[in-house]
Every structure is written in C-alpha cells, then in structure tokens.
Structure 1
C-alpha cells in the first residue's frame, strides 16, 4: 500500500523537476540573441567597472595591476566598429568547422556514413547488438544528424525485429549519439570547434598558448569503449527490464509495414572500396609523421608536438572523409562527376546558416570580453578564492563537471555553452595550475551527459516523435525518465575515468597534451 502511494508522489516530484527545467530553458532567449545581449552587456558593464576602478593584481612574475578597459567611450566605440569584421573572420572555430564539414558533407551525401552505421548495427550478433548500437551511436558523432535521423529509428526497428522492446533500442542509440557526444575513435568536427574556443580563452593568460584539435583525442578514444560498455549495461540491466515485454497495441503505426533494408551488394562493394581508400590514406599519412624524417614533423625540433601535421589536422579530417566518401559514391553510382562532389559540399555548407550567424555574435562577445580584461580579472579573483578555500586539487573538477552538466540542461549547444564559460573557467583553472587541454576534457563530460534528459536539446522533439510510433501515449516525462539512468551512469563512470586517467595514472588527455600549466 505504501509503495503504491509513494509512486505517484515520486512521479509528481519528477514531473515538477522536468517542468522547472523546461520553464527555465524557455526563459532563455535564442543562443544568437543570448550572445548579442551578452556582448552588449559587456560593453555597458565595462563602462561601469572602469568608472569604479575595478582591477586585479597580475600574479605572474613582473605583472602589474590589470584594470578594466572601458568600451563605453569614444575609443571603445572606435575599436568595436573597426574590429567587428576581423573578430568574425578571425574566430578560429569558424574556418576549422567549415573546412572539416566540406569533407563530412561528401561522405554524408554519398551515403557512406549511413551505410557504415547500418552495416555495423545490422550485422552484429544478437548477443552483442546492444553494444553495437551504443558504439555506433558514439561513432556517429562525426556526423551527429545521421545518428539522430538514421541510427535511432533503425535501432528501435532492429530491437523490435529481435523480439525486444523497441524503446530500449531507441534509448541505447540515443544514449550513444547524444550522452556520449564528445567521445569518438577519430577526431571529429567538434574537436577543432572546442579547441578554437579554448585557445582564445587560454590566450587571456598566455597569448602564445595553442590548443589543437587533437588535445583530447586519447581520452575521448578510451571514453568510447567506456560509454559503449556503460550504455549496454544500463540498457540490458535497467532500462529493458523496466520497460517489460512490449505490447504491439501500444504502437501508433502498423509495425508489420516496417522493413529493415539490409546492405545491398553494391553498398557492400562501396564500403570495401571506401575502407581500402581510408587505409591507404592512413598509410600515406603515417609515412609523413611516424619516421624521424617525416616531412610533416616539426621542421626545427623534429617532434610531433607543434608539427604541421597537428596544426593542420583539420585538413586531414577533410581528406579522410572526402576521399573515402567519393570512392563510395563512385562505386555506388551516387557520384558520377565533379558536379556531384561540388553539390555535396555546397549542401553541407547550406545547413550552416544558423551556425554562421551564431558565430558572428559569439565572436563579438569573446573579443569584447578579452578587450575589457574582464576574463583576466574574473580568473584572478576566482583563482584567489579557490586558493583561499583550499579547493585547488583535482576535486575542483567535480564541481566544474557538475556545473557544466547543469548549465547544459538549459543551454544545449556545446559551442554556445563553451563560448560563454571558457573565457572565465579556462584562465581561472590555468592560474591554479591546470592545462587548458585537461579543462576542456572535463567540460566535454559535463556538456555531454545531460543532453538526453533536457527538452532543450535540439533533437529531443525528433526522438520523442520516433518514440511515439511505438508508444502512442508517451510524453516528455516518460522519455526523460527512461534516459535518466544513462545520464547518472555516464556522469559517474566518465568522471571516474577522468580522474583515474589524468590524476591516478598521469596519462595525457591528448597528443602531447600536458596535465598541468606552468607559465
């Protein structure tokens, strides 16, 4: 009796929590509007802070007093007007993302990425199909739209065809695609995007500091296997038993009409050709970087660190997607001429209109924040506070990850959230001794794990629509309750891996990535 009475109360409290999250998220304006307002607020606040003489003592050797520079005067207006265009064009993530997506666009338009995901999931043994689904979801992050649009519906269909609950398949795929967003075996488009923002933030403390796209590769690669294992465990031990046996009467569509299209012979030939071209490209790149005489090593030191290979990694992302994509398209007769390749690249660019507008305003905010010295002053004051309360050890990252996970409930865009928080937290944590690469890796955990439980996530509505095919009365609360165990497990497990990898084992999070920052 007690259990029956407590269950509605728990559901009521959980529903109220979800309603609060949705209400808070709806209070926020569009991210583009948010950045415009932030940029305007920085200008006004700089005038007020300068008037009251806000400053901080630079802790670096030979450092003087850092004062707020006002933009709310004639000199500030002149700097804003003359820097508006260069702030935009010089914003590092803009060019890197555009170049990388040119290659991804070819691979996507040719059908390579879709076929690779279908092949991985549909050819998996029934005993490991859950693992294959989650793993495919994580790998699909290189082209996240395909993960949501192709893999999530496909996984629900596959689970149903195996006599399992289709919502368990949907949940497994959704957890890999979205909650495991930053993890991947390869360097994807999100890596240069975040690295560019981190570099800008680190330059507030060290003008010469550079964070490359490979900065978190090692940690994100090992995270792929952890996310896949945790996602499989949660699906089979928690979510699927809770869902119980599926009743086809709950569906809103005729499930008998669902057909899972296996890979055709020509698609299989295309995948083989694309795989061989990828291996050939890998071998060629290895020759340029592995031997000591490799032409893409650092021309002066001969090292990999700071080499043209690492600084030009975006070009290689473009090549390793574009060439296998073209080979696959050529074999499957999807791409017959250069016109088809050009159309594929053009189509990928046409989807970035919103992103380009967002970058324009984000670039202004980041530039204004740096010009005013707000970032340096906040970082110094924050670092001093952490030192005073004794929170300078690795435990500071627990609070940082939790904060990022909470903010992500209301601001789902990885680039938008990092563009706002990086100028404050990267310099702050650098001043207490941690390298930007490690700070960025911790951020990526918090930014990923709560994607699947916030209605503010851009693809949440799509996932809910797919789920409604199999359970016609499903609501936001039911979907979030289904995904919540994944968020909790990923947050705990991924955070533990971070501390073990970085601080217990002393392993670098990426290629030549330091753990600690020394001025």
Structure 2
C-alpha cells in the first residue's frame, strides 16, 4: 500500500476545509464535557435574566394555568448536590445504555462466532453478474445489524467479487460502502441502531413530558421503505456514474495485498452448516415470540389497555428479543461451524463484546450528564417552547421543518461522526420542540436518521473512512483521500435527495412510521399556553 502523505490528503476546497475544521474538534467525550461547562455558564446567565416558559403539560393548582418554569442555575446548591449525589443514578438510568448493552450481549456472540461475516459472504458469493450491484448494496444495508462486521467483511469482499466478475473492484467497494454507511439506517428489521437512537429519544421526551416508553419498532416501516428507495439510487450511481468514471481495471496498478484477498470469498462446508443451524435458531426464536404474543395468557399483549396501547409490551420486549435472537443464532452457528466449543467460549464472546463497548461507556457517561443537566436547568424545555413558538409563527409546514432538520443533520455529520453523540446533542431540544408542534418523537428520530446517513460516506472524519481508503489502495495504489471522497460524493447527493423526498412524502401523506407510531401526535393539553408565554 502506498503511504498517503499529509500534503496529498490535505486537499483544497470544501473537502479540505471540512477535514481541517473537523480535525480541530475534540473527541466527542471531551466535546460533551466542554458543552457541560458551557451549559453551566449559560444557565447562570439565563437564571439571572429571568428566562422562563409555561410547562406544556403541568398545571399550577393555585392558578389553574400552565405552570411557569424558570431557568435554573446549575451552580445552585440544589443542582450541585444533585450532580454529585445522583451521579451513579444519572449514568445508569441513561436509557440508551441499557438498550445497547442488552442487544450487544447477543450481537457480540453472533459477530465473534462468524455468523455475520458468513451470512454476508453467502449473500453475495454467487450473485448473477446483472444483479451483483443490488445484492451487494442490499447485503450492505442489512449488514448494519452486524455493526462493525459489515465494514471489515463485506466491503473488501465486494471488491473481490466485482473483480472476479470482470468489473472494477473499486466500484464494488464503493457500492458496499454506500450500502453499509450511506444506508446506515436502512434495513428490513429494527436492530442495535434503533435501540440506541430510541433510547436517546426516550430520554429527550422525559426531560419535558415525564415518563415515556420508546418503541424500538417506531421507525420500522420507515427504514424498510428507505431500503427499497436507497437501493436503486446506489445501484444507478454505481453502474451508470462511478464504474464508467473508473474505466477498465488495470491490474498493474493493484497493490500486493489484492492477490491475497482473492481467496477469501468461498464458504467452507462447516460455515454453510453453521448458517443452516443459525437459520433454524432464528425461526425458533421468532416462533417463541409469536407464542408469547398470541399464546395462552398473551403475556406480550396488554388486554386491558386501549387499542393503540395493547401491543406496547410486545414493542418493549424487542430489545430482549434481539438479545435472544442474536445469542441463539450465534451459538447455533458457532457450534456447527466449530467456532464455539463449550459454554465458556460463549461467555468469553459475551465478555469481549462488552469490552468493545468501553469507549461507548465513557461517551455515555458524558452524554448522560449533559442530557440530565440540560433537564435540571429547564433550558431544554424553554428552548423547545420558544423554538416551537418561532416555528409556529413562521408558518412553515411540518415537511419543511423536517427537511431543514435533515439538511442540518447532514452538515453536522461532516464534523461529528458519531450517530449517538449527535443525537444526544440534538434530541433534548428538537424532540420536545417538534412535539409541541404536533410532530411525534418517532418522526423526529426518522428525520435525523436520513440526514445522518447521507453524508457518512464523504467525511474524512468518519472512523472507517481511512480503512475504506486502504481497501481501495489494495486495487489501485495511487488511490488517495480525494479520490475516495470524489467517488462517494455522487452517492451522498443521491441519498440526500432521495431521503428528503421520501421524508417529505411521508409527512404529506401522513403514513405510519412503524407499528403504533405515526407522524403526528396530539399537542399536549397545555401547549397552547406555551406559545404565548415569554
């Protein structure tokens, strides 16, 4: 592989500016700590200025009017005491933490046993040449359930498969990268990302409206539609724009590692047996959940609840359901393929998956305190109320507001790569604000997901961007950072346009986002009062 010198990567123009500016940002963990210090200072100023708003749901018993909440200084004795006394509770009660840890206990086993890697290889290994691109893209989007495995297994494999089919290997890498990262939220099933994002959404709602249970399937229909809308976009860009631009593949320009990669595509007999066993395990878990839902006693259906809430236990059980699904499928695959010997190997894999989350735990600690302290200061509610007031007087329709959020998220993603970090920053203000305008938390989350995915593939600050560059340089030694960014830019534009059109259409047609999740909600009963209080 040819080393890319700093002078070559520090490109000019907008990409160079993005790279230089983004590199000056601190690690997301310290970004949150810095924001906490800034929040504390702002809370003092807001408190002294008497900033206030009417609570959207709480009523003052004495006046019968909406309860007025004033900005609170985070340096007040009460908040200082709360910070230190409740620190363990603030961290452990951060909703995304539990969701992610539970799902990853199972997903870590499936990944380490080799299930995810073999499933992705099987999905594209014998693809007809005509359908090679869409199959690579589809497997890439479904591979999001496998988290990091999709990047390190499917993307280099796509280059090998394209080369074997007589096509340019970098076109395969680009298509797979666009599917895995550009279509980051697209999928046929909810997964780890849904657990993570809706955990943050739940915390954001509770800062203003009290107890709220998120629905991990709240974007299910939306992400399925994303899959089928994004797939032809990436297919078209790959076959009609990128591959013709790349021209014929020149083997003389390939790095030495490319030849070594060509033998990694075929599945062994044990791996094929493992996939069959994993498939049976998946069917068994699905059957078990159907039994829990429709069997005697219907434990996952609340028969006493209203029609809209009857399935809430089922939705809330899906986090545990994915744990069981990944765990048993991974175990079944590992036993058949020989990657898991006994229960000790299983426990070791679960332990290693928790070790991989070490950085996330540190990030979650910082994000949890930022979200909690934002709530203590009342600034989240006040900003949401006055932001909703401004947007309401602007006369902008709901689709225009959400389109603006998508575009803003896409720009922010160029500088802050972590999906969870960005949503933890945005959700405490955006989610309550949109709720006060009658837009559901599920729709706010869906809009964020569209913007977050579209620009993943063009920012050098994306954590896997250098790895993708290395994969490309195996096939073309002089392929640099600017080459990769230029290759992925048409995908980014196409996905952003398609995502915007889809989100706008979804709002205009008022389609359901998932089981029990709609675009619009009833504005909280006291919200009318909030738009007139300053």
TM-score range, shorter chain: over 0.9
Q: Deviations over 1:88-140 (max 9, x none)?
A: 00001101101100100111111111100000011211111111111111011
User: Does 2:35 match 1:38?
Assistant: yes
C-alpha contact 1:305 1:512 (8 A) present in aligned 2: no
The correspondence for 2:504, drawn from 485, 493, 499, is 499
C-alpha contact 2:46 2:71 (8 A) present in aligned 1: yes
The correspondence for 1:189, drawn from 176, 187, 192, is 192
User: Does 2:268 match 1:264?
Assistant: yes
| Distance in 2 (alpha carbons) for counterparts of 1:472 and 1:325 | 37
User: Does 2:323 match 1:326?
Assistant: no
Q: Displacement of 1:66 after TM fit? A: 2.0
What is residue 155 of structure 2 aligned with on the other side? 152
Q: Displacement of 1:514 after TM fit? A: 2.3
C-alpha contact 1:93 1:196 (8 A) present in aligned 2: yes
| Distance in 2 (alpha carbons) for counterparts of 1:408 and 1:453 | 10
What is residue 345 of structure 2 aligned with on the other side? 340
Question: Which blocks of at least 5 consecutive residues in structure 1 are unaligned?
Answer: 1-11
Q: Deviations over 1:67-98 (max 9, x none)?
A: 10111132221111112111100001101101
| Distance in 2 (alpha carbons) for counterparts of 1:96 and 1:151 | 26
User: Does 2:446 match 1:441?
Assistant: yes
What is residue 300 of structure 1 aligned with on the other side? 304
User: Does 2:218 match 1:215?
Assistant: yes
C-alpha contact 1:138 1:183 (8 A) present in aligned 2: yes
Q: Displacement of 1:345 after TM fit? A: 0.3
SS of equivalent to 1:64:
strand
Q: Displacement of 1:295 after TM fit? A: 2.4
Question: Which blocks of at least 5 consecutive residues in structure 2 are unaligned?
Answer: 1-8, 60-64, 525-534
Q: Displacement of 1:255 after TM fit? A: 4.0
| Distance in 2 (alpha carbons) for counterparts of 1:446 and 1:274 | 34
What is residue 401 of structure 1 aligned with on the other side? 406
SS of equivalent to 1:56:
strand
| Distance in 1 (alpha carbons) for counterparts of 2:226 and 2:310 | 23
What's the TM-score, normalizing by structure 2? 0.92
What is residue 6 of structure 1 aligned with on the other side? none
C-alpha contact 1:15 1:477 (8 A) present in aligned 2: no
Gap change, CA 1:391 and 1:302, over 3 Å in 2 = closer
Gap change, CA 1:293 and 1:234, over 3 Å in 2 = farther
Q: Displacement of 1:59 after TM fit? A: 5.2
What is residue 66 of structure 1 aligned with on the other side? 69
| Distance in 1 (alpha carbons) for counterparts of 2:148 and 2:228 | 21
User: Does 2:292 match 1:288?
Assistant: yes
C-alpha contact 2:168 2:246 (8 A) present in aligned 1: yes
C-alpha contact 2:208 2:375 (8 A) present in aligned 1: no
Q: Deviations over 1:329-360 (max 9, x none)?
A: 11112112100100110111111111000000
| Distance in 1 (alpha carbons) for counterparts of 2:257 and 2:146 | 30
| Distance in 2 (alpha carbons) for counterparts of 1:254 and 1:364 | 46
The correspondence for 1:419, drawn from 390, 399, 424, is 424
C-alpha contact 1:366 1:419 (8 A) present in aligned 2: yes
Aligned residues: 507
| Distance in 2 (alpha carbons) for counterparts of 1:104 and 1:242 | 38
Q: Displacement of 1:149 after TM fit? A: 0.5
The correspondence for 1:23, drawn from 16, 20, 24, is 20
User: Does 2:437 match 1:432?
Assistant: yes
| Distance in 2 (alpha carbons) for counterparts of 1:284 and 1:385 | 49
User: Does 2:160 match 1:163?
Assistant: no
| Distance in 1 (alpha carbons) for counterparts of 2:321 and 2:444 | 25
C-alpha contact 1:187 1:217 (8 A) present in aligned 2: yes
Q: Displacement of 1:40 after TM fit? A: 1.8
| Distance in 1 (alpha carbons) for counterparts of 2:311 and 2:374 | 28
What is residue 62 of structure 2 aligned with on the other side? none
C-alpha RMSD over aligned residues: 1.8
Gap change, CA 1:363 and 1:254, over 3 Å in 2 = closer
SS of equivalent to 1:205:
helix
